[in-house]
Structure formats: structure tokens, C-alpha cells
Amino acid sequence: MPFSISQEVRDVNKKKVIKVGRSGAKRKKRILITAGAAGVFLFVSIFFLIGYLQQRSFETSIAEIQAEALTVMENKDEIKPRPADYSGMDVETLEPGTLNVNVQDQISQFGVGTIEIPSIGLKLPILEGITQANISIGVGTVKPNQSIGKGNFALLGHYMTNSGLLLGGLKQVSKGDEIHLTYFDKQATYRVVESKVIHQSEGKYMLDDPEEPHYLTLLTCDGSRVGTDYRLMVRAELIE
């Protein structure tokens, strides 16, 4: 067969076209994959950004009502004992949808004092009883008829990942730190002697024990995981 340069050129060009076509398809596929990955990354980034901004807004709201509650408590003229709810039945995770408290009314009815831990910059109002409204703006008394210098004076509050909100900073408390308490017309200073994680079933840490000395006990959730069965317990003894 006579040698045909034109046929060979056509064959070579055909192979080039096929090769270029395949290369172009691969390049197009890579571009689509890259674009898809970028789109997913952008979507996820926007999702997390919205969540972050919502959380910041929520924390700002808590900080504002916490500060308002403390101011109202410190300016309260008269503190009178009144019936309160200690059941904790309505207590739930603190979320934007559950943050609905009339601060003035709540402090007016149930505000009974303040707690301050200078080492962690904590100062909160104390409210009588354990309800969602009470512990959304401060800490609540666990039992009725508690008093400074007698039995186990127990307070409970919400944990927050932001250490400046509610009992979020309690994990930073160290043995020897002082706690200042005002309750009705009495004032006292305590020193931290113990801090540990307990199971929620260990209710003895909230109860009075005739064989135990007087303690101040603070309780909050251990960490931010919703529904955790563990609590952070801080105990302090009266020094003055």
C-alpha cells in the first residue's frame, strides 16, 4: 500500500482530538468538583457564622439582664420572706426561646441577696427558690428556710460557656478563694474548701446533714453538653 502522509496526519490529529477531548472532560470535572466543594464550604461557613452571631446576641442579652438584675437587687429597699417554688420542675436548658424574664418583677418578688466571688469576677443576685426565671438572672436557693451559719446553705444556677455569665466561671474557682454572701439582713465571707464533679443522683450535697458543719454549696451543670448527668459542686466554709 502506498504510504499516505495525509492519512497519517489525519490519524494523528484524530488521536490529538480524542486526547484533548478527554483532557478537557477531566479538567471540566475537576472544576465542577472544586466549585462544588467551594459551595459546600461557603454554605457551612455561613451556617456557622449565623450560629455564632446568634450565640453572641444571646450572650449579650443574658449579660444585660444579669447586670439589670444585680442593680435592681442592690437597690432593693426591703426584703421580706415569701413562699417560693423549690421543685425545679420548670428548669430547662437556657436558650434564646426560654429567656423571657421580667427582671423587675422577679427581683421584687424573690430577690433576697447577692453572691460575689472576686477571684473570677462573679457577682449575682440570689433569688428564693429554683425556677427557670430565677436562675436565668442569678442563682436560686435550693431549700426553704436556709440561713447563714446553719446547715448546708445550697445555691444552684445555670452553667454558661462564657465564664462571665451566670455560673459559667465556677470551674475556675480554686481552693482558698473567698466568697462573699449577703442574704436578707446578714453578710458572711466563706473560703472554698472543695471543688469536684458529682453525679446528679448525689442529692446529699444539697441536703442538711446534722453531723456535718455549716457549708455554702454551689451547684451547676458540668460543661455545656445538653442533658448532662453531672454537676460541678463547690463547697466553702464560713470564716466570718
Give per-residue pLDDT as tens, 131-147: 999 999 999 999 999 99
Residue 138: inside a domain, yes or no? Answer: yes
Cell triple for residue 154? 445550697
User: 110 lies in which domain range?
Assistant: 63-238
pLDDT at 9: 45
Computed over its alpha carbons, how large is the radius of gyration of the chain?
31
Rounded CA-CA distance 101/140 in Å is: 15
CA dist 93 and 71 (Å) reads 25
Tally of structural domains, the chain: 1
Q: What are the Cα distances from residue 161, in Å, to 138, 151, 199, 220? A: 16, 31, 20, 12
Is position 211 within any domain? yes
Q: In which element (H, E) is residue 115 found?
A: strand 111-117
Residue 78 domain-assigned?
Answer: yes
Q: How confident is the model at residue 99 (pLDDT cuts 50, 70, 90)?
A: confident
> Does the residue 18 lie in any domain?
no
Amino acid at 122: L
The answer to whether residue 33 sits within a structural domain is: no
Confidence band for 212, pLDDT divided at 50, 70 and 90: confident
* Residues annotated as part of the active site: 158, 221
Indicate whether 148 belongs to any domain: yes
Residue 1 confidence (pLDDT): 47
The b/e string for 119-152 (b: 16+ C-beta within 10 A; e otherwise) is ebebbbbbbbbbbbbbbbbbbbbbeeebebeebb
Question: Whose CA is closest to 120, among 184, 64, 176?
Answer: 176
Using a cut of 0.95, tell me whether the model's pTM lies above it: no
Residues 234, 221 contacting (CB under 8 angstroms): no
pLDDT for the residue numbered 135: 96
Mean pLDDT over residues 11-22, rounded?
53
Domain of 195: which CATH number? Answer: 2.40.260.10
CA 83 from centre of chain = 29
In a domain, 28, yes or no: no
51 in any annotated domain: no
Residue holding cell 444556677? 157
> How many residues belong to the chain?
240
Q: Where are the alpha helices (DSSP H) in the chain?
A: 5-74, 103-110, 132-137
